[in-house]
Structure formats: C-alpha cells, structure tokens
A and B are shown apart, each in its own frame.
Chain A
C-alpha cells in the first residue's frame, strides 16, 4: 500500500509569493494533519482536518490556510511568504482520532 505522498518534494520561492503544498493520505485514512519543522527542532502543529472539517489549528498566522477534499487529500496554502517560512512541511494521516499518525517525506520549502 502507498504511504502518505506529498508534492512537490522541493520548492524555492521569494518573499511575498504564495505557495500551495499537496498531500495524499494513506487509502482509508480520513484525518490529515500539517506540521512545520525547522532545522534542529521537532515538528510544530499547523492544522488537522477530519472528514473535510477543520478540527484543530496551531499557533500560526492567518497567512496559513488549508482544506481537505472529498477524496481526503489536502492542500496547505501560505500567502505573503517570509524568510522564516523556510522549513520542511510535513503531512500526516490517520484513520481517525487516537490512532497512530503516519507521515510523508515532506516538502522542503526555501524562501529567498
């Protein structure tokens, strides 16, 4: 079975631009979460979606938004990019609540 897939794998943007990151969960998983990981730190929670509804939001500015589609795939959007948004963005899926979360390999975003 395919794991969590994320695209693109790498992305380079300049300050002020907009970016969209995509995630396909493991088949049968209805929950998708997004995390930001900067070098040397553990991942930080951004959003969780379950059954296409936002269930949780971390301490990130309104420039960050996300959505989940009927097929349970998800997009993370970031507007007005800042240098500090440079990070590895990770997507995780799980069948539901209180279940192990399975992560993709992430999208490496670099802001110039």
Chain B
C-alpha cells in the first residue's frame, strides 16, 4: 500500500526561525510531489510542485526538495512569520493519468509564535 508520512505532527517555533518539515513516501516510483498549506476551515493552497525528474523547487521563502531514492521530501521555510501558521500537507501522485489521484500525509500543524 502506498503511504505518505509527515513528521512532526505538530511544531511550534518563535518568529524568525528557519524550519524544516519532513515527508516520506513508500514507493520511489512517483509521478510528482506537491506541498500545500491549509488554514483552519479552509481548502488547500498549493505551495510547490516537484516533478519526478526534479530535485527541488523554490518560491519566495519556501524551498522544497525531493530525494526519490530515499523516499523523502523536505519543505524549508526561511525566516518564519506568524502568518505562516497553518497545517502543511505533503501529497504524492504515485501514478500518472489521474488513476490514483494524490495520496496525502496527515499534515504538520505549524504554529509560529510572535
């Protein structure tokens, strides 16, 4: 069974710190990996998409890396701000063509203390 695991489940850090969120997946033959954030009671906001042929993607203060051989991805957030507080979800598309959709982890609940 293809699974996605996110560690830690929750994280609280002071404002200004750099931090890393971890995601692991069971099958190295992935199609792509996407990071999302979800605010309470809201839908998901797409942050970064990494294709299987790529090693990393960057957007502003966010950098996501992908290591298929070890089945891991990390989301690096630089100079964290209170507005970064949210649940961060990692999602893997294990097969192309939409057959299996995205497989999500349970998320990391992040709190940035002012």
Contacts and interface: CB of A to CB of B under 8 A. Distances in A.
Interface of A: 4, 31, 33, 35, 40-48, 50, 55-56, 58, 90, 92, 97-106
Contact of B45 (A31, A40, A48, A103): A103
Best-surrounded residue of A43, A55, A58, A90 (most CB of chain B within 10 A): A43
Interface of B: 4, 31-32, 34, 36, 42-46, 49, 51, 89, 91, 93, 96-107
B101 A45 contact: yes
Contacts of B91: 42-43
B107 A31 contact: no
A45 to B, nearest CB: 3
Contacts, number: 71
26 contacts: A35-B101, A35-B102, A40-B106, A42-B4, A42-B91, A42-B104, A42-B107, A43-B44, A45-B102, A45-B103, A46-B101, A47-B101, A48-B101, A50-B98, A56-B98, A56-B100, A58-B100, A58-B101, A97-B97, A102-B46, A103-B43, A103-B44, A104-B43, A105-B42, A106-B42, A106-B43
A25 B91 CA distance: 20
Contacts of B46: 100-103
A105 B103 CA distance: 19
Contacts of A46: 101
B49 A55 contact: no
Nearest to A40: B106
A100 B49 contact: yes
Contacts of A43: 44, 89, 91, 102, 104
A98 B106 contact: no
Contacts of A31: 98
